[in-house]
Amino acid sequence: MSKYLPLLDGLKLNHPLRTMTNDAKIEEAKHIWEHESLGGIAENNNPLPRPVVGLLLLTFLTAMAWTFPLFGQRPNAAIYADYVSLMSSAPIQQVLNDKTKSTAKADAEAMAMIEDTLSHYNSPYEFQRAQHPITMNDLRIMAPKIIELQKQPGVDLEEYSIIAGDVVLANFEGNWRTDEAGNQVRTRKQPWWDKGYSTAIYWFIGFCIAVIITVKRLPPIDWKPDHTIAH
């Protein structure tokens, strides 16, 4: 094993929090530490500073949170289907057609009415709506396309992305599913988790394990080298 994985040579797991090296390797490490000048550097046997460990964990957690797929999801047409329905209602149209108000003011009031109405009902899209707010002009652009999709049988609005006001079929290709006609088609929904994210976590765990094993192959931290021998 040590021929191919020297990191595991002489590995001992009796007291992993103190050391992972057998007695012979510890004595060898002590001899090298005290009898080689190490380029004139007198390095003490101190534990890894806790702020460094904290910084490592903070960096990892920040990177994972920033790139989490859930926060990078594109808005889909299903999020705004209720917006389209409410926009066509009489109270909203009355505000939009009120000639005593400017277009900007009427649009703002109408959108506020739509959002207030939606806030009184539970929806699986509340989080996405908060992430991707729209204006009345955005709604005017996408509304005809969403209405057209709703007229087509078997169409899942969650499979259509909103890109700059345009409604297009999402470019994600997930599992196969059977549509209403019995045909096998791809699922076009963006996943909340992807394989790349899992790979990143596996690499981080592997890195931490390798660092821990490497550090714990040194003599225990209660041993202090005598620098007068080589210096």
Looking at residue 110, its pLDDT comes to 96
Give the pair of three-digit tokens for residue 96.
Answer: 């939009």
Q: What is the pLDDT along the chain (231 residues), one digit of tens a residue?
A: 455 566 666 777 777 778 888 888 888 888 888 888 777 777 888 887 889 889 988 998 888 877 776 656 789 999 999 999 999 999 999 999 999 999 999 999 999 999 999 999 999 999 889 989 999 999 999 999 999 999 998 889 999 999 887 899 988 777 787 877 788 888 888 777 777 788 888 998 998 888 888 888 888 888 888 888 766
Output b/e per residue, 127-156; b: 16+ Cβ within 10 A: ebbeebebebebbebbbebbeebeeeeebe
Q: H-type helices in the chain, by residue range?
A: 23-35, 50-66, 81-87, 90-96, 103-118, 126-131, 136-151, 195-215
Looking at residue 12, its pLDDT comes to 76
Hey, what's the torsion of the CAs at 219, 222, 226, 227, to 10 degrees? 80
Q: Read out DSSP for 175-201?
A: -EEE-TTS-EEE-----SS-HHHHHHH
C-alpha–C-alpha distance, residues 152 and 154, integer Å:
7
Looking at residue 158, its pLDDT comes to 92
Looking at residue 22, its pLDDT comes to 84
Give the pair of three-digit tokens for residue 204.
Answer: 């981080």
Nearest to 161 by CA among 138, 142, 134: 142
Phi-psi region of 153 (alpha: psi -120 to 50; beta: other; left: phi over 0): beta
Looking at residue 70, its pLDDT comes to 61
CA–centroid distance for 119 within its chain: 27
- What tens digit of pLDDT does each residue of 129-181 get? 998 999 999 999 999 999 999 999 888 999 999 988 789 998 877 778 787 77
Looking at residue 125, its pLDDT comes to 93
Q: Which residue has the tokens 């996408």?
A: 142
